[in-house]
Amino acid sequence: MKMKRLTIISCLLLLGIMNSSFAQAKKEKPLYKDANAPVEKRINDLVSRMTLEEKVYQLNQVLVGNNDNPNNVGEAVKKVPAEIGSLIYFGYDPVFRNSVQRHAMEESRLGIPILFGYDVIHGFRTIYPISLGQACSWNPELVKRSCSVAAQEARISGVDWTFSPMIDVARDPRWGRVAEGYGEDPYTNAVFAVASVQGYQGTDLSNTKNIAACLKHYVGYGASEGGRDYTYSEISKQTLWNTYLPPFEAGVKAGAATLMSAFNDISGVPASSNHYTLTEVLKDKWKHDGFVVSDWDAVKQLIRQGVAGSKKEATLKAFQAGVEMDMNDRYYLQSLAELVNEGAIPIEKINDAVGRVLRVKFRLGLFDNPYIPVKAEDKRYLLPENLKTVEKLVEESIVLLKNEKNTLPLSTKSRLAVIGPMAKNKEHLLGSWSAHGKAEDVVSIYEGLESEFKNMKLLYAEGCDFDGNDTSKFAEATKVAQGADAILVCLGEKKTWSGENGSRTLSLPQIQENLLLELKKLGKPIVLILSNGRPLELNRIEPASDAIVEIWQPGVNGGRPVAGILSGRINPSGKLAMTFPYSAEQIPIYYNMRQSARKNKGGYQDIPNNPRYEFTYGLSYTTFKYGELKASQLKIKHGDKLVVEIPVTNTGIRDGAETVHWFISDPVCSITRPIKELKFFEKQVIKAGETKIFRFEVDLDRDFSYVDETGKRVLESGDYFISVKENNIIVELVN
C-alpha cells in the first residue's frame, strides 16, 4: 500500500515538474517562434523584442563564403555577426552555410535566421541562356520552368534569395547589361518579369524548392546615357511611367518579394535615394510589402553622385527614400542607430523596414526551417530532366538571321570546316553572371556538331583568338577550309564583354572579322555562328555570310541545339527582342520610337535609317502566311470586349513554331505616342500545311491607354490601329 502511495506521489510530482517545465517552456517560447501564429503577429512580436542595434543589423547585407574553404569554416563563421540580416553567399556548401546559420540561430539573443542572397541570373549550376536570349524564345512558360530549376539548385545549396530578374528596358546595345534583361520593350520585360518571379517563388515561398525574387534594377538603369554604366539617365516622369516602370509593376503584382535599387541617377535624383520611385510609387501606390535592397555600395555612391556629403547623409537619404537594406558598404551599420538616436529617423520607420525584412524571412520559412539538407552535388545539379528543360529554352532562343540560297540546313553528306575562337570554347558560352556554372559542364559548338553529324567529316582550325592582331593561324584555317564543302565560322564575345561594367562598341574585334573575310575568298558557303551578349554591328561580315545564326550565350547546353538547327532537326523559332542597329551611329534606335514630324525626313544623310535587323525579326526553315485580321467589332465603347484574330498558315513543307506579335498604335492622342507598342504575343507550333488562329483579347484600359506622368492610366476615345506585321485594322473607341 505504502509503495503504491509512494508511486502515485512520485508520478504526481513528476507530472507537476513536467507541467511547470512545459508551462515554463510555453512561457519561454515567444510568439514569433510559433510556426502556427500568423506572420504579421510574429513580426510584431519579434520587433517589439528587438534592440535598436539588433534592428539595424537586420537592415544590412555583407559578404561571406567567396574565400572560405572548408578548413577555415570556423574563422569565416566567427567573422559573421550572428545578428546580421543578410549575407551574399558566394559558396554552395550546405555544411558551411548551415554552420553560419546555426551561428545566427543559436549564438544571437533572438535567433533570427540570416537571409542568404546571390546572383542567380540565368541558372545556379545548370546555366541556361542569358536573359536577352531567353526573351528571343517568346516562351514565358519555358523561362518560368528554367527559373524554377535555378531556384531548386540555389535553395538546396543554401541560397534563399536571388538578385533576379533583371528587367531594365534597354535600348542602347553598347550598355553591357542588355545581356541581363529582356530587351527594348516594356511589355516583353513585364511578361518575363512575371514568368521569372513565378518560376523562382512558385506559389509558396516556404517550399524549399523556391527562392525569393528581386526585381532589378529599380528603376531606369537601362537608360544609362551613352550606354555607359553607373551613370546619368535622363527620364521624364511620363517616360518613367510608360517605359521603365511597367515591368516592375508587373513583377510587384506577381508577388516579387524584393526589389533592388539601381545605380543610375534619374534626372538628378539617384535611384537609390529617390523617394518618389521607392516610396510614393512602390509602397504607397503599389502597396509592396517586401523590401528594397540597395545595389552594391549604391548607398555609398550617393556621395560620388553628389547628393550626400558624408556617410551619415548618404545613409539618411537612402533610408528616408525607401531603401530598407544596405548591400555591402556597411553605411547603415555605422550610421543608422545614430540617426535614430538624434531623431533624424523615427523608430517607427526602422520598425517598418525591419518588419519588411522579417516578413520575407517568415514567408521563406527560415525561422521554422533554417537549415538545408546536405546533399551530394550530383544530386543537386545538372539533373537530366532539368538539362532537358534548359536545352529546349536554348533551341527556342536561337535566332536565324540570314539564310540565303537555303544554305541551311546543311546537307549531312558534306565536309564541314569548323573555324573560329568560339568553335570549341566552353567558358564564354556561359555568358556573364554565370553563378556556379562550370566550363566543363558546357557542350561546345564543336561537340554538338560531333554528336549531331555522325557521318559528316568535320575539319577544325581555331583561326584566331577572340581579339588581338595575331593572324598567324589564318593560313592553317584557310588550308583546313579548302578541304571542306562549307565553312562554319564561330565568332563572338567573351563573357566579360557584356554584363556589369561591360560597355563596348558594337563591333566584333577586327581579327575575327578579318578571319571570316579571309575564308570568304575561298568561294565556299559561309555559315556564321554568333555567340554574344548584345546586338552587334555586322556591316563587314554580313555580306560575306550566306547564313547567320545568333545563338546568344546559351549556357551549358550550347552545342547540341546549335547543331540541331544546322542539321535541320530543329526548326529555328527565335525572334529578336532587341533591335540590331545598322551601326552604333544610329543609337538610340528601337521599334517603339516616336515618328519624325516630317514623313521620310529627318533621318541621316550618310547611313541608312533602318536597323540591320528589327525588333521581332527572325527566320524559319518554313514559311508562314498571315491571313486577314478580323475584329469582333470596329466601333467599341468603354467596357466593351474586343477580340481580334488572325489566321496563320504554315505554307512550307516542315512544321514550325511561329510567334505572333500584336501591336497597337494611337495616331491621335493628347500626348505623342510611339509609332507602335507591343501589347500581346503568342507562340504556336503550326504543322506543315496547317492553319492556326491567333487571338488577342483586347482589354481597352490595359492595352489602348497610356500612363500619364502621375501614373494614371488614360484611355482616350478615337481611332486605334491594331497591327500584326504589315496587317492592321482600325477600331474606333467612342465615348
Residues that bind ligand GLC (CB under 6 A): 119, 163, 216, 295-296, 500
Query: Which residues touch 15 (CB under 8 Å, ≥6 apart)?
Result: none
| Minimum CB distance to ligand GLC, residue 166 (Å) | 6
Reference 180, options 150, 213, 144, 216; nearest CA is: 216
For the purposes of burial, counting CB atoms within 10 Å of the CB of 544, is it exposed (0-12), middle (13-18) or buried (19 or more)?
middle
Task: Note the helical H segments in 288-330.
Answer: 301-305, 311-321
At its nearest, how many Å lie between ligand GLC and the CB of residue 498?
13
- Name 677's bridge partners: 664
CA distances from 161 to 71, 156, 208, 297, 325 (A): 26, 12, 12, 19, 14
* Cell matching residue 707: 500612363
Strand 115-118 relative to strand 86-89, pairing: parallel
Residue among 167 and 556 whose Cβ is closer to ligand GLC: 167
Residue keyed to cell 550550347: 558
- Would you report the helix, strand and coil content of the chain in percent, each value rounded to 5? 35, 20, 45
Cβ proximity to ligand GLC, 176 vs 202, nearer residue: 176
Q: Of 328, 201, 323, nearest to 262 (Cα)? A: 323
And the C-alpha cell for 538?
Answer: 555586322
Q: CA-CA distance, 207 to 405, in Å (whole number)?
A: 53
Taking the complex as a whole, the smallest distance from the CB of residue 380 to ligand GLC amounts, in Å, to 22
C-alpha cell at 195: 514568368
Peptide bond into 421 cis (omega under 30): no
Question: Which residue, 54 or 153, is less far from ligand GLC as judged by CB?
Answer: 153
Least Cβ distance, residue 501 to ligand GLC (angstroms): 8
Which of these is catalytic: 119, 295, 326, 546? 295
User: Which residue, 58 or 264, has its beta carbon nearer to ligand GLC?
Assistant: 264
CB nearer to ligand GLC: pick between 224 and 557: 224
- Closest separation in Å from C-beta 163 to ligand GLC: 3
Per the CB < 8 A criterion, the answer to whether 648 and 660 are in contact is: yes
Per-residue 3-state assignment (H helix, E strand, C coil) for 50-81: CCHHHHHHHCEEEEECCCCCHHHHHHHHHHCC
Q: What counts of helices (H) and strands (E) characterise the chain?
A: 20, 28
- Our CB check for ligand GLC shows the closer of 224 and 665 to be 224
Q: Which is nearer to ligand GLC, 295 or 677 (CB)?
A: 295
* Cα within 13 Å of Cα(705), Cβ side: 15
Closer CB to ligand GLC, 436 or 612, in the complex: 436
Q: Where are the alpha helices (DSSP H) in 544-678?
A: 559-567
| 179 versus 587: smaller Cβ distance to ligand GLC | 179
Number of C-beta neighbours around residue 550 at 10 A? 27
- Give one word for 403, left, alpha or beta, with left for phi > 0 and alpha for psi -120 to 50: beta
What CA–CA distance (Å, rounded) separates 396 from 390?
A: 10
As measured in angstroms, the least distance from the Cβ of 622 to ligand GLC is 39
User: Residue 70 and residue 67: Cα distance in Å, rounded?
Assistant: 10
Tally of CA atoms within 13 A in the half-sphere of 542 that contains its CB: 15
Helix (H, G, I), strand (E, B) or coil at 625: strand
Please say which residue, 177 or 317, places its beta carbon nearer to ligand GLC: 177
Q: Active-site residue 295, yes or no?
A: yes
| Angle separating helix axes 186-201 and 246-253, nearest 10 degrees | 30
Residue 89 has phi, psi (to 5 degrees) of -105, 110
Q: How far is the CB of 139 from ligand GLC (least distance, A)?
A: 24
In the numeric block, the cell 554552395 is attached to 92
To 10 degrees, what angle do helices 347-364 and 331-341 make? Answer: 140
According to DSSP H, which parts of 544-617 are helical?
A: 559-567
CB of 61 to ligand GLC, least distance (A): 9
Q: Taking the complex as a whole, how short is the minimal distance between the CB of residue 500 and ligand GLC, in angstroms? A: 5
Phi, psi of 620 (to 5 degrees): -130, 165
Q: Which C-beta is closer to ligand GLC: that of 89 or that of 466?
A: 89
Min dist. Cβ of residue 41 to ligand GLC (A): 32
How near is the Cβ of 15 to ligand GLC at its closest, in Å? 56
- Of 462 and 500, which CB lies nearer to ligand GLC in the complex structure? 500
In sequence order, the 6+-apart residues with CB closer than 8 A to the CB of 418 are 445, 446, 449, 458, 459, 460, 488, 490
> What are the DSSP E strand ranges found in 158-208?
161-162
CB of 434 to ligand GLC, least distance (A): 13
Neighbours of 379 (CB within 10 A): 9
Please list the active-site residues. Answer: 295
